[in-house]
Structure 1
Amino acid sequence: MLRTGKKIFYILWGVLLIYFLYCYAQNPAIFSVEYLKSFISSYNDQILLVYIILSIVRGFFLIPSTPFVIVGALLFPDRLLLVLLISMIGIMLSATALYYFSDMLGFSEYLEKKYPNKVKKWESKLQSSKATWLVLGWSFFPLVPTDIICYVAGIIKMPYKYMFTGVFVGEIILVSFYIYSGGLLQL
């Protein structure tokens, strides 16, 4: 089941990549900054709604939030607080979904069979009184996906409030930095 899902994902990813390369070869201008600005501004009324939907849905596909946060800051430089709110709602919804549905996704049995020592090690770390700090640090560090720690926390049944608090504090700091940095790019 897991291998079939991976194959389908890689095939879809490859098809999408080939499609974008084909589009670029046919008309490179559609990937220019000017074209993208004009395309986005032609949908000015709907763009906020699309941004909200994409920010919420992206977590269910394990797509990183960073590009969405930065794009939000660039699209809505006069509404940075709203971008922060939308981003955090999307991040926390995906963190919660991954936590609660980690067993349903079926990876827990696979991970426990393949990496029993690592699962036990993470279990002891995430059941300790300092688990919130570990999750916070993981969430704040931009080079590792927050989704992984939420998933592992759900598998080993870490108390939800510790996972939620750690992700929230770590991500709000990181997302605020991204929004501020993205807002500076407008200048």
Structure 2
Amino acid sequence: MLKTGKKIFYILWGVLLIYFLYSYIKNPEILSVDYIKNWISSYKGHILIVYILISLVRGFFLIPSTPFVIVGALLFPDNLFLVLVISMLGIMLSATSLYYFSDLLGFSEYLEKKYPEKVKKWESKLQSSKATYLVLGWSFFPLVPTDIICYVAGIIKMPFKYMFMGVFIGELVLVSFYIYSGSFLNL
């Protein structure tokens, strides 16, 4: 029964990822700030609820949070702290899910067989208490997806608290910057 549920989950997740990838290839503007802002704005009476739901589920599809954070600042310029809280909840939910479900996705065995030296190298780096700083730096750097470090941390069984604190602090700084600089676009 568990294997059937796992297969169904993989199939649904795969179909949705393929759909989003196809949509992005067909129309790359779907991840632009203006497109997302207009799409969310089309739900006039429920705009905050739609924004919260999208912020919470976007990580499951490995969609970057940056456009959604900036859109939040543009849509709710009078509630920037609320945008910060919603964005951080979505990011931390995504990070936690990727950490705990990394083995469920089944890539760990593949990576350990294909790249045993690299896995050992990352394992030694991410097992120490200083690993928080590595994760923090990775999370703060905007050109690399935070999802990757969360996934790797889960695969190698990095202590959750180190991963969580690194992602939280790094993303808090980055998201705060996005929100407050994004809010100036409204002027």
Normalized against structure 1, the TM-score is what? Answer: 0.83
**Residue equivalent to 1:84:** 84
Paired letter, 1:16? S
Identity %: 74
Cα pair 2:56 2:91 within 8 Å, conserved: yes
Q: Deviations over 1:87-135 (max 9, x none)?
A: 0000000100000110000111111111111111000000122100000
**Residue equivalent to 2:153:** 153
Matches within 5 A, 1:24-103: 41=41, 43-103=43-103
Matches within 5 A, 1:112-123: 112-123=112-123
Shift of 1:45: 1.7
Structure possessing the higher radius of gyration over alpha carbons: 1
Residues 101 and 11 from structure 1, CA distance in 2 versus in 1: closer, same or farther, beyond 3 angstroms? closer
Q: Deviations over 1:24-44 (max 9, x none)?
A: xxxxxxx9x6xx75x755532
- Cα RMSD after superposing both structures: 2.8
Unpaired segments of 5 or more residues in structure 2?
A: 1-6
Normalized against structure 2, the TM-score is what? Answer: 0.83
Task: Report the Cα distance in structure 2 between the residues aligned to 1:46 and 1:112, rounded to whole angstroms.
Answer: 45
Q: Deviations over 1:25-79 (max 9, x none)?
A: xxxxxx9x6xx75x75553221110000000000111111101100100111111
Task: Report the Cα distance in structure 2 between the residues aligned to 1:40 and 1:143, rounded to whole angstroms.
Answer: 25
**Residue equivalent to 1:135:** 135
1:16 aligns with 2:23: yes
Residues 43 and 5 from structure 1, CA distance in 2 versus in 1: closer, same or farther, beyond 3 angstroms? closer
Shift of 1:16: 2.1
Q: How many correspondences in the alignment?
A: 173
Task: Report the Cα distance in structure 1 between the residues aligned to 2:60 and 2:14, rounded to whole angstroms.
Answer: 19
Paired letter, 1:95? A
Shift of 1:7: 8.5
